[in-house]
Amino acid sequence: MDHRSLLLLGLLISQSQHGYQIHDFIETNLPFITDMKKATAYAHLEKLSKGKYIDVSVEQEGSRPPRKVYSINNQGMELFYQLLAENLAAADTVFYEGDIGLMFLDHLPVEDTVHYLNKRRKDLEKKHHAVQLTPLHDTSKGVNIAFQHKKKMLEAELSFLNETIQQLKASPDYNKEVE
């Protein structure tokens, strides 16, 4: 089990939900916390069901097609608290795919590197702005702390990019006439 199971079990603690509700909540409220896709959520719900961590019932409303409703059970609660403890205690190793490009920037003219890093910075500034606009959660300090963490990580990346761009512009290889 992993962080995806922790997320799904955590969402089911407050109430039983059908798959669409879970996916909609993740997509609407947690796009900066997880990139879990709908198919992945359903696959993990199925895995949790087979592991007897959640119960599944079928609900029928009017003429709508039947839908599965997922509920956490006692075994799921135990797993949730175990995963929560492991997750909070773990020091993540973060791999930034963009670091791979940084390793090989010597193979481009400095002006091109600065141009591409400026594009990256603009994209990160948009993400940072979106995180800043996210309203505080009324009842969960944990959700707010997670968003604060994401905001700080984006700020650190922006600071790094600003310093790197300035360093590259100050290099003797940089052609100031290109700007």
SS (H, E, C) 7-73: HHHHHHHHCCEEHHHHHHHHHHHCCCCCCCCHHHHHHHHHHHHHCCCEEEEEECCCCCCCEEEEEEC
pLDDT tens, 105-122?
999 999 999 999 999 999
| Nearest-angstrom CA–CA distance, 87 and 33 | 14
| Nearest-angstrom CA–CA distance, 134 and 20 | 22
* Structure tokens that stand for 112 in this block: 């091109």
What are the boundaries of each domain within the chain?
3-89, 98-178
* Structure tokens that stand for 10 in this block: 């955590």
Amino acid at 128: H
pLDDT tens, 145-179?
988 898 999 999 999 999 999 999 999 988 876 66
> Could you tell me the pLDDT band of residue 131, with boundaries at 50, 70 and 90?
confident
Q: Is 7:36 a contact under the CB 8 Å cutoff?
A: yes
pLDDT at 14: 87
pLDDT tens, 64-117?
888 999 999 999 999 999 999 999 999 888 888 889 999 999 999 999 999 999
Mean pLDDT computed over 29-45: 87
| Residue (of 51, 70, 173, 42) closest to 112 by Cα position | 173
Does the predicted model carry a pTM greater than 0.85?
Answer: no
3-89: CATH number: 1.10.10.10
| Residue (of 79, 14, 17, 24) closest to 47 by Cα position | 79
Nearest-5° angle of CA 36, CA 149, CA 22? Answer: 30
